[in-house]
């Protein structure tokens, strides 16, 4: 398997592999599965790995990365690792604390990319999350300090709407622009407008739930349609002798979106690497664009009353 993965240049000069491995799994999945799957992913050729403080798996993912370094499969600099600061660490003095906790779990000395996971500050009051008032620009300045300290090579955001991105881009004295905005993106929510905006600012859009999400009950309305069961995706898959999952991944790469794919199943982890083996015609890309229907699987509706809830704006 070709280990040199295709990358795209970020606005700070670093490069991000355009296909990433998602590692989030529900509480019921044994944490050791993350180690097993991440090792398989690296062996299969994935070089970009996405996790977060909130996923509670960084110890296990770090173990997999370090074991693939130890056995000579990769070097640290071949791996692009993303982590994210959780909402309860938005206070500027806590951002680095969260990153250092991640690094300690990982047993790594830097992350390639550090993201603000979600644009809403919260605080933990006796085990219950309540809203906290922290200016996102103050959180961003603490992110810039993490980059200057070398703990994160690049910094970016996740789940930001246009207004929230502009708030950071317009911050007086901005030192570093976010390199990316990681958001839900797939043929049913193709984020065309946010993608155009990000492009105009040299911000990479990174797609999560690109296969239609994990559909976990905590986060996803179980009555929503299953993306990979879509008949149009199915017929295009048939035409290329691939799978609906591969069509959904390829769609993102051809529109310049960096795409994450989560699987803890060896066969599907390997299958997802085939995204580099074929090309969709511009006609089929147009057909896929036509599937857009504003279905947000991870809608976060329980947070909708927070003043910084991102998904009330059109985009």
Look at strands 7-9 and 15-17 and give their pairing.
Answer: antiparallel
DSSP state of 298: B
* HEC per residue, 56-84: CCHHHHHHHHHHHHHCCCCCHHHCEEEEE
Q: Which of residues 125-164 bind ligand NAP (CB under 6 A)?
A: 158-159
Contacting ligand NAP (CB under 6 A), which of 50, 58, 112, 308? 50
Contact between 293 and 227 under an 8 Å Cβ cutoff? The reply is no
Nearest CB to ligand WDT, comparing residues 5 and 51: 51
**Is 297 noted as a catalytic residue in this protein?**
no
Q: Does position 34 bind ligand NAP by CB under 6 A? A: no
Alpha helices in the chain (DSSP H): 32-44, 58-70, 92-106, 136-148, 162-169, 192-200, 231-240, 244-254, 266-272, 282-289
Contacting ligand NAP (CB under 6 A), which of 5, 10, 17, 22? 22
* 2 Cβ contact list (under 8 Å, min separation 6): 45, 276
Q: Does position 186 bind ligand WDT by CB under 6 A? A: no
Closest-approach residue to ligand WDT (CB): 300
Q: Does position 131 bind ligand WDT by CB under 6 A? A: no
Please state the closest distance from residue 96 (CB atom) to ligand NAP, in A.
Answer: 20
Q: Does position 300 bind ligand WDT by CB under 6 A? A: yes
Q: How many CB atoms lie within 10 A of CB 120?
A: 22
Contacting ligand WDT (CB under 6 A), which of 24, 140, 188, 197? 24
What positions carry a catalytic annotation?
55
Chain residues binding ligand WDT by CB under 6 A are 24, 52, 117-118, 159, 214, 219, 298, 300
């Amino acid at each position: 398997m070709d280990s040199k993965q295709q990358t795209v240049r970020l606005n700070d000069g670093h490069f991000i592999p355009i296909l990433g491995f998602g590692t989030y799994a529900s509480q019921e999945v044994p944490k050791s599965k993350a180690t097993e799957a991440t090792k398989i992913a690296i062996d299969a050729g994935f070089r970009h790995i996405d996790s977060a403080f909130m996923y509670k798996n960084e110890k296990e993912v770090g173990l997999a990365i370090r074991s693939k370094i130890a056995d000579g499969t990769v070097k640290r600099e071949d791996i692009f690792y993303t982590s994210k600061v959780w909402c309860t660490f938005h206070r500027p003095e806590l951002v680095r604390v969260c990153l250092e906790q991640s690094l300690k779990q990982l047993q790594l000395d830097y992350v390639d990319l550090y993201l603000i996971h979600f644009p809403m500050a919260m605080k933990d009051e006796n085990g219950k999350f309540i809203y906290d008032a922290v200016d996102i620009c103050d959180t961003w300045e603490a992110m810039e300090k993490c980059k200057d300290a070398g703990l994160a090579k690049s910094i970016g955001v996740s789940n930001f709407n246009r207004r929230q991105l502009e708030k950071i881009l317009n911050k007086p004295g901005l030192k570093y622009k976010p390199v990316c905005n990681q958001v839900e993106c797939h043929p049913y929510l193709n984020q065309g407008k946010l993608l155009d905006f990000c492009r105009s600012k040299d911000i990479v859009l990174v797609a999560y739930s690109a296969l239609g999400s994990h559909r976990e009950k905590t986060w996803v309305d179980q009555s929503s349609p299953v993306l990979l069961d879509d008949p149009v995706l199915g017929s295009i898959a048939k035409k290329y002798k691939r799978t609906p999952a591969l069509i959904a991944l390829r769609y993102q790469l051809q529109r310049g979106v960096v795409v994450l794919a989560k699987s803890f199943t060896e066969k599907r982890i390997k299958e997802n690497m085939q995204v580099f083996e074929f090309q969709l015609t511009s006609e089929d890309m147009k057909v896929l664009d036509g599937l857009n229907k504003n279905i947000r699987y991870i809608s976060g509706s329980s947070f909708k009353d927070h003043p910084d809830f991102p998904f009330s704006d059109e985009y």
